[in-house]
A and B are shown apart, each in its own frame.
Chain A
Amino acid sequence: MILVVLILILGALFVLLGVRNSWRYALQRIGGAVLVLILVTFGTTVLIRQVPGEPCEIALGTAATPEAVAECVDDQGLDEGVVAQYLTWSQQVLIEGDLGYAFYKNQEPLSETIQQRLPRTVILFFYSQLIALAIAVPLGIWAAYQAGRPSKGIPIWILPIIVGGIYIYGEFITDWLFTSVLTLAFLLPILIFNLFRGGRGGDTTVNFLAFGLLSLPVFVLGVILRYAFAEERNWFSLAGYVPITDNVIEHLKSIWVPALVLGLAAAPVYLRLLRADMIQNLQQDFVSVAKAKGMSNTHILLRHVLRPSTVTLMTVLGLNIAQLVNGALVVEYIFDFDGMGSYLIEAIYRQEFFAVQTLVALVAIIFVVTNMVIDVFYSVVDPRVRAEAA
């Protein structure tokens, strides 16, 4: 039912846009998405059956009566074959919208937990993406602009030697605050000098920075920043999430470090992509034309080169949702942030497999739908994609 409506809407959109074979294209897109979703959810059902012992007994605990276990088995369709179990599950979850229990023992409905916790995670994602873009876009533009120029500035291979050297020195003196301040005192001036000195050195520095951030595991950054801002200083509140409507400052205080960690993890991905894309665009003929017409470099960079790259960036923003969920699992666990990520970890520790199964399916649905929307958006913005697809 929903499917037919979706296909109709998408098809109508394509007809309006004047795509050739629009109905076939809509059918292909949605058909592919549905196939992926069915396979993912079926996969989780198969996995549930591999739980050693009876998943229902695990879910209900040792104190459960045999009747309760039997009811649960019947409810989940565990006594039937894989396909029948899958059909039971998909009818319950996907068609009736009954998500089951967050914690099977207390019969807490999962939908309530989601209602309570999902907004927090969404806000966390939103801030982290803002931070990531605020870092990635200026640096990416700058790096792409400087990439082809002669080298100036301090050679970049000094950085790992300095960091390594100071770290070994830190092992000996063991004053970690002093060591980290010393590291920053060496690193920041070199980085900032190289950045503003321009030339290829600026590009190399940005690249190296991106590599550094890309290689820094989320949990390492999270542990260090939690200590620095939440335990040593009182700049971040571990007391729990405060809605923005209550108190803006408290709200920011309860969310900024996890958002920063997620943002720093996502930034290098966007940064490298934007840089590569812009370098490619900078070599196009239209840049020479614009330059010949006497436009300023800033104008060419921002209006002619950045614009097509924005579309690529949007695509990756969508694809990065899966990555964000990965990060959120770890970051929310580190910062005791009660969002969906920490619920998932808790559910896994408590072996609430049914809830985890449903959530995995929901995340996959969100991911697939987002990507489909972005695909459509892409084809709306970029006529070349439309022509290719049709």
Chain B
Amino acid sequence: MSNVADNLAYTSKAGPPDTVDSKREWNLIFWLSVGWLVILVVFILLGSANPLVPEIERNADLINAQPALTNFWKDSCDPEVERCGRDAFVVGGLFGNDDRGRDVLAITVDGGRISAFIALVVTAIGIFVGGALGLLAGYLKGWIDVVVQIIINVTLSVPALLLVIFIVVVRGRSIWNVILAVSLLAIPALARIVRASTLQVADREFVKAAEVLGVKKGSILFREVLPNVMPTMISFAFLTTGIILVAEGGLAFLGLSVESPSITWGRIISDGRADFRDSPWVVLTPSMILFFTVLSLNLVGDHLLKRYDVRGSGL
């Protein structure tokens, strides 16, 4: 759900110099965020091979079972459940079960696989297509710039989620259609940033020097401009990944993302809504994980942006 306002808000402007204290503080937050993202990636990559994550099984006995450690800590095992004693950890799972008896941690990890896949592919498309458009527009200017600007303006003038929903409904709810639709949201956002950044780099002395020396345009673009635009692009890639995760979550929440049986975070939240009173963990677990993931992505992106900030790289 990116729009110009988001991009404006993310753009860090020249402020007062950081004190040592605050630098240390933000560094700590940065490493906490990186740590969380690493944990997340490890969980998603390991998937069902992870001993901490139980199998996704439908078990009528476990419908809406409370998170396991309740039993463990309060030492109040239900004698009806066979496996009580030794497997107290397993009954009900670490994060509890949903209304179909599936372990919430297991479906969250499973849903994370698809959510993360969509977010990463879309970001990659955004970087390659949007980045290329932005670079060409910012460096070559002329008619390419006009065309790219029109593309950016057209895409940004439609509310992103509405456009995405429209595309997904018209073209069908396969994973590639979702990716295609959400890409339309990432490409202009990244193109905009890269274009602004390129415009600035293209004015610097070393680019002029290379031009005067008669270096080919393509070579200047890749050897001089691109490396200097890269840090901004990578920082915004993190921010975009967060935005895409939320956008895909919103789509899934409305029941318009990838079709069942595939499940994503937004879908788990939407499914758990009906039983919020009795089993709030079904909604809260994926919600908190989504929240921390997006927060980490935002913090990491912002930190990198500040670190590699060319002063005043506003829009």
Contacts of B205 in A (CB 8 A): none
**Residue B87 is within 8 A (CB to CB) of chain A in the complex:** no
Q: Is the CB of A269 within 8 A of B170?
A: no
Q: Which residue of A lies closest to B159 (CB)?
A: A325
Q: Which residue of A lies closest to B256 (CB)?
A: A348
**Residue A280 is within 8 A (CB to CB) of chain B in the complex:** yes
**Residue B238 is within 8 A (CB to CB) of chain A in the complex:** no
Interface size class of B (residues with CB under 8 A): 35 or more
Contacts of B54 in A (CB 8 A): none
Which of B22, B154, B277, B280 makes the CB contact (< 8 A) with A151?
Answer: B22
Contacts of A277 in B (CB 8 A): 13
Contacts A151-B21, A269-B9, A322-B156; A356 near B254 (Cβ below 8 A): no
The A/B interface has a contact count, at CB < 8 Å, of 214
Closest 4 CB pairs of A and B: A148-B16, A325-B159, A215-B295, A326-B161
Q: Which one of B32, B150, B254, B285 has the highest number of Cβ atoms from chain A below 10 Å of its Cβ? A: B254
Q: Chain B contact residues: over half helix, strand or loop, or mixed?
A: helix
Additional pairs, 12, CB under 8 Å, beyond known A171-B96, A218-B250, A323-B1: A36-B150, A148-B15, A150-B21, A171-B69, A208-B29, A217-B291, A223-B269, A232-B277, A269-B9, A273-B8, A319-B4, A348-B169
Which of A36, A216, A330 makes the CB contact (< 8 A) with B157?
Answer: A36
A15-29 contacts to B (CB < 8 Å) = none
A70-101 contacts to B (CB < 8 Å) = none
Which of A32, A172, A329, A371 makes the CB contact (< 8 A) with B161?
Answer: A329
Contacts of B162 in A (CB 8 A): 325-326, 329, 344, 360, 363
* Bound CA–CA A167/B94 (angstroms): 13
* Bound CA–CA A93/B77 (angstroms): 66
Q: Is the CB of A220 within 8 A of B269?
A: yes
Q: Is the CB of B5 within 8 A of A363?
A: no
Contacts A52-B172, A160-B29, A348-B166; A279 near B15 (Cβ below 8 A): yes
* Bound CA–CA A44/B172 (angstroms): 16
**Residue A164 is within 8 A (CB to CB) of chain B in the complex:** yes
Q: Which residue of B lies closest to A344 (CB)?
A: B162
* Bound CA–CA A353/B165 (angstroms): 11
Q: Is the CB of B253 within 8 A of A330?
A: yes
Q: Give A residues with C-beta under 8 Å from B.
A: 32, 35-37, 39-40, 43-44, 47-48, 50-52, 147-148, 150-151, 155-157, 160-161, 164, 167, 171-174, 176, 200, 204, 208, 211-212, 214-220, 223-224, 227, 231-232, 268-270, 272-273, 276-277, 279-280, 283, 316, 319-320, 322-323, 325-326, 329-330, 333, 344-345, 348, 351, 353, 356, 360, 363-364, 367-368, 371
Q: How far is the CB of A314 from chain B (nearest CB, A)?
A: 12
**Residue B141 is within 8 A (CB to CB) of chain A in the complex:** no
**Residue B6 is within 8 A (CB to CB) of chain A in the complex:** yes
* Bound CA–CA A51/B67 (angstroms): 45
Q: Is the CB of A330 within 8 A of B250?
A: yes
Q: Which residue of B lies closest to A326 (CB)?
A: B161
Q: Which residue of A lies closest to B15 (CB)?
A: A279
Q: How far is the CB of A318 from chain B (nearest CB, A)?
A: 9
Q: How far is the CB of A300 from chain B (nearest CB, A)?
A: 16
